[in-house]
Amino acid sequence: MRYVPFVGGRVDVVARAVRQVLGPTNIVRERAPGAVYNVMRPSWWYGYWQSRDTVLSVLEGLRAVVAVPVMQSNSIGVHVRRGDYVPLELHLNAAYFEHAVREMATAHPGVASVVVYSDDPMWCRKNLHFDLPTTIAHAAHPADDLIALAASEYLVLSRGTFGWWASHLVERVPATVIVPDPYLPGSPNQQRRLADPSWWSQPAT
**pLDDT > 90: percent of the chain:** 43
Q: Which residues of 142-170 are buried (b: 16+ CB within 10 A; e: fewer)?
A: eeebbbbbbbbbbbbbbbbebbbbbbbbb
**Residue-wise pLDDT tens digits, 62-80:** 888 888 887 788 999 999 9
What mean pLDDT is reported for the chain? 85
Question: Please, which residues have CB within 8 angstroms of residue 89's CB and are 6 or more apart in sequence?
Answer: none
Report if pTM > 0.75: yes
Q: Is 35 exposed, middle or buried (0-12, 13-18, 19+ CB in 10 A)?
A: middle
Q: What is the pLDDT of residue 45?
A: 81
**Residue-wise pLDDT tens digits, 9-58:** 555 677 777 767 777 888 888 776 667 777 778 888 877 777 777 777 77
Q: Which long-range contacts (CB under 8 A, 24 or more apart) does 104-108 make?
A: 104/76, 104/154, 104/156, 104/176, 104/178, 105/76, 105/131, 105/132, 107/175, 108/74, 108/154, 108/176
**Residue-wise pLDDT tens digits, 125-179:** 999 999 999 999 987 888 899 999 999 999 999 998 899 989 989 889 899 999 9
Domains and CATH numbers, the chain: 12-65 (no CATH), 72-203 (3.40.50)
